[in-house]
Amino acid sequence: MTDFSHFSTEELLQMYRNAPADTGAPAVPETPLTPAMPAIATPPIGALSGSTDVSRETSPAPGLATDIAKSAGIGAAKGAIGLGGMIGDLGQLIKSGLQGAGLSDEQIGRVHQLVAGLYPGLANAPTSADIQGAIESKTGKFYQPQTTPGQYAQMVGEFLPGMAVPGGGGLVRRGLTALGAGLGSEAAGQAIEGSPLEPYARVAGAVAGGMAPGMAGRVLTPLPTNPERLAQVRTLQGEGVTALTPGDITGNKRLQYFEQTGSKYPDIATQKAEQFTGAALQRAGIQGEPRATAPVIDAAFDRIGNKFDTVASRNSVTLDTNLGNELNSVSQEYKKLVPTSQQRPIVDGVIKDIGDIAAANNGILAGDAYMAMRSRLDKAARGFINSDPQASDALFGIRNALDDAMARSMTNPDDRKLLREARREYKNMIVLERAATGPGSDAAMGLISPSVLRNATVAQNRRAYGRGQGDFADLARAGEAIMKPLPTSGTAERLQAQRGGHTGLASLIGSGVGYAAGTALGHPMVGSMIGAAAGAAAPRTLANVALSSPANRYLSNQVFPNAAIRPTSLQGLLALEQLNQGQGGILGR
């Protein structure tokens, strides 16, 4: 008998197929045709994509990690295919909708011809099924998940290529959206697997899951705000203005009005105003003062004047050509702005005085004479600030020209530094003096509001403020953006806050609860009154809670400033694609 043990299964099958038809016996030689060789494992076509064949049925099932990795990779590939075939899929969805609306194939054909004439590329775009079919014709059927975690991994993978779709935040946000959408879609699909509603459940799950990161972010950051506002908040906090409420930081108007109903708010508002005033005063070298009162302003001018006196006592001014050019520029600018009949004689008079002194003293102005002239110029210029701004600017210009000449005349670097410091502080004192002497109760109490500081800064140099230059520009702009008072009347939020928010409802509920408790204790009316009072006080109590440090930190935090709970373009497009996936899609494959 022939020994068949050394033949492989494939060789035996081939010999059986080639056996003569009349005998039914296998045509085999008496001796082996080939020596027995060890079998070489050659993967069949499609093994990489996971096609089902005899070799797969006899091979062991992949491990969990391998299944998840393969499923995620195939999911990503299917997601990319879905994006590539999105236009064609949309056309198929429209066609299905037209068929559902009762249009005949002829009518649908005419619509297709019309679209093809207008947009040839759109009408003939391949669907995702077309693209996947073309790929599978070369690689074999795509790998199918073998475990439940693998099914989730594949669905998440299908959503990952959608991170390239514009909209929906940054890369991390898009990644979280894709992850949530994939998990939500697969969970919803498995919940009603096999049902006709499965594809629609997957769409709903994708949208809901994609919104989940935003919902979680909104829980962690309940009042997100924009980066521009946060930058202004950081400016104020860096200046020591730290008594900002959650409403200030987030810009939420309803919260701001609600905060003002709390009994703690007046103290917080005062602290905030004092911190802002103190930050402004520091620009003039005034340290540790929360209010710009008359004694504080007067003491600052004396201190700065002493610095000028110290410099003048050790130096004199060389009345050089640069000084003459600067004085001539001041005079020409003043005459250009003011008609001859309205010009102040003091402007050209002071310039002439300086020229006479230079001629009489070999171009030298003694330090004490410099200080006397500077003091007269300051006094006159400050007196014209409101009544004649052009004359005021001209006199300040003459004073600045003298200061520049003094700086050029100095040889001691310490004196130059002291003069530079005194000039800067004095310049800022002019702004502070204007702000502190403005109208309103706050100014009378020594508090400088952001709006008043802004106006005083603009009055000194509008162009510099517009360009963000000068010592007060950033502080005034940040204060105006964050601390500007809300309208005092005429808004729905204000009216609701004045009525105590939902005080009426809270009082009614409290009265009912109190009545029930009082009845149980034998005093229903007393219980009702106590409950009503407690209910009425609830909104103010909640406002005080919102102003507390823990609530402030929670309501103001911007850990997730881009949190949103609305569907994004990423979720919408990927949910549309979910209708065309093979697992229950309405179009199928």
Q: Could you read off the pLDDT of 82-100 as tens digits, one per residue?
A: 777 777 777 776 777 777 7
Q: Which of 63-72, 87-96, 561-570 has the lowest mean pLDDT?
A: 561-570
Q: Which of 179-188, 282-291, 469-478 has the lowest mean pLDDT?
A: 179-188
Residue 407 CB neighbours (<10 A)? 16
Query: Which residues 6+ apart lie within 8 Å of 183 measured at CB?
Result: 152, 155, 156, 209
Q: Mean pLDDT of all residues in the chain?
A: 76
Beta-bridge partner residues of 572: none
What does the angle CA 260 – CA 263 – CA 267 come to, to the nearest 5 degrees? Answer: 80
pLDDT in tens, 361-420: 999 999 999 999 999 998 999 889 889 989 999 999 999 999 999 999 999 999 999 999
Q: Give the integer Cα–Cα distance in Å for 496 and 254.
A: 9
pLDDT in tens, 38-59: 444 444 434 444 444 444 444 5
SS (H, E, C) 451-486: HHHHHHHHHHCHHHHHCCCCCCHHHHHHHHHHHCCC
Contact 395, 377 (CB under 8 A): yes
In this structure, what DSSP letter does residue 317 have?
E
Q: Give the integer Cα–Cα distance in Å for 261 and 365.
A: 62
The model's pTM is: 0.60
Q: Give the integer Cα–Cα distance in Å for 6 and 33.
A: 10
Q: Torsions phi, psi of 564, nearest 5?
A: -150, 150
What does the angle CA 185 – CA 190 – CA 191 come to, to the nearest 5 degrees? Answer: 100
Q: Give the integer Cα–Cα distance in Å for 215 and 565.
A: 5
Q: What is the pLDDT of residue 56?
A: 43
Q: Which of 49-53, 169-173, 250-254, 440-444 has the lowest mean pLDDT?
A: 49-53
Q: Torsions phi, psi of 467, nearest 5?
A: -95, 5
SS3 291: coil
SS3 18: coil
Contact 434, 449 (CB under 8 A): no
What contacts 24+ positions apart, CB below 8 Å, involve 213-216?
213/173, 213/176, 213/177, 213/179, 213/180, 214/177, 214/563, 214/564, 214/565, 214/566, 215/565, 216/563
Tokens 């001796």, residue located: 31
Q: Torsions phi, psi of 364, nearest 5?
A: -120, 135
In this structure, the dihedral spanned by the alpha carbons of residues 211, 213, 214 and 216, taken in order and rounded to 10 degrees, is 120
**Structural domain spans, the chain:** 1-37, 65-85+126-221+572-578, 503-556
Q: What's the longest Cα–Cα distance across the chain?
A: 145
Average pLDDT value for residue range 290-302: 95
Q: Give the integer Cα–Cα distance in Å for 513 and 238.
A: 48
Q: Which of 101-105, 158-162, 430-434 has the lowest mean pLDDT?
A: 158-162
More confident residue, 183 or 502: 183
